[in-house]
Amino acid sequence: QVQLVESGGGLVQAGGSLRLSCAASGRTFSSYAMGWFRQAPGKEREFVAAISRSGVNTYYADSVKGRFTISRDNAKNTVALQMNSLKPEDTAVYYCAAAAIRAYSPRDYRTYDYWGQGTQVTVSS
């Protein structure tokens, strides 16, 4: 079992940066692939980025590619999302998620087993 807690959200102006962090409890953090999803009001949950257990493989939504970077530190049980060149359309609640190996698809929220509470990111123009 794993518990996830996001932090680092806030209000920034367009063009600014934020770094989101997700702290995980448990000894088997490295057994899970990790992902970030976001959901804006009136919109469906959207894939943002994912990273494999070892950190070797990363995946990004086209909308954030080149601006966001996902990373993990298995020694500290954390995963981060560095967000640069933020746009108003990035405004959403961002969720950290963990996926077991079984039937894992990085971009599909249905394949993730554990979720954090979410953290609000607001980008003003």
15 confidence band (pLDDT: 50, 70, 90): very high
Whole-number Cα distances in Å, 121 to 65, 93, 118: 18, 6, 10
pLDDT band at 103 (very low <50, low <70, confident <90, very high): confident
Task: Give the distance, in angstroms, between the CA of residue 107 and the centroid of all CA atoms in the same chain.
Answer: 11
pLDDT at position 27 over 90: no
Measured CA to CA, the distance from residue 88 to residue 112 in angstroms comes to: 27
Query: How far from 98 is each of 46, 54, 83, CA to CA, in Å?
Result: 15, 13, 20
| Residue-level pLDDT at 46 | 98
Mean pLDDT in residue range 80-108 = 94
Report the 10 Å Cβ neighbour count for 114: 17
Whether residue 102 has pLDDT greater than 80: no
